[in-house]
């Protein structure tokens, strides 16, 4: 869970994706569903030391999603996004999330969106995010090029 939000741009993925439609699959839980998520995780019998959301040992399965949904309102259903190279995912502040990605992929994260990008009510302006994503994408592209040169690709 990111307190300030983050953005993730996938710049490359290997030839074999996790599924037919995505190199990465994101699962987001709205803030209103966090208590149900924690409760289901604890009932699942995992060996969590502290908050199960922050231990990073919880793997989300379809069965686990159904367990959470029995405890939460239907409006608190998880949001599932598919990401491929060139796609940018915005991680909203306060949303618990998990990512399953192709083992051979490269993404550029910008964590903790700068304070000046957020308005008083916590929203982020589209223009500011576009600037931040463009900057992150350029840095990531440079990193991919440097890595490729080092590997002789």
User: Which tens digit of pLDDT belongs to each residue from 85-137?
Assistant: 888 888 888 888 888 876 566 665 655 555 544 444 445 555 665 666 666 66
User: Which H/E stretch holds residue 46?
Assistant: none
Dmax over CA atoms of the chain, in Å, equals 53
pLDDT at 13 over 60: yes
| 10 domain-assigned | yes
Is residue 11, in this structure, part of any structural domain at all? Answer: yes
Q: Assess if residue 1 is contained within a domain.
A: no
Range of the domain at 42: 6-151
In a domain, 51, yes or no: yes
In a domain, 74, yes or no: yes
Please report the pLDDT score of residue 122 as a whole number. Answer: 47
Sign of the Cα torsion 15, 16, 22, 24 reads negative
Provide the domain count of the chain: 1
In a domain, 58, yes or no: yes
Predicted TM-score (pTM) of the model is 0.66
The answer to whether residue 140 sits within a structural domain is: yes
């Amino acid at each position: 869970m990111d307190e300030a939000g983050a953005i993730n741009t996938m710049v490359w993925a290997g030839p074999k994706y996790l599924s037919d439609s995505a190199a990465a699959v994101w699962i987001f839980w709205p803030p209103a569903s966090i208590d149900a998520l924690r409760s289901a995780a604890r009932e699942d019998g995992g060996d969590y030391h502290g908050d199960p959301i922050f231990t990073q040992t919880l793997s989300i399965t379809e069965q686990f999603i159904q367990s959470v949904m029995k405890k939460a309102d239907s409006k608190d259903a998880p949001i599932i996004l598919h990401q491929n190279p060139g796609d940018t995912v915005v991680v909203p502040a306060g949303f618990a999330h998990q990512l399953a990605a192709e083992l051979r992929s490269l993404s550029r994260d910008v964590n903790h969106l700068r304070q000046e990008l957020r308005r008083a009510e916590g929203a982020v302006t589209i223009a500011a995010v576009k600037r931040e994503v463009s900057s992150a994408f350029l840095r990531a592209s440079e990193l991919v090029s440097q890595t490729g040169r080092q590997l002789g690709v």
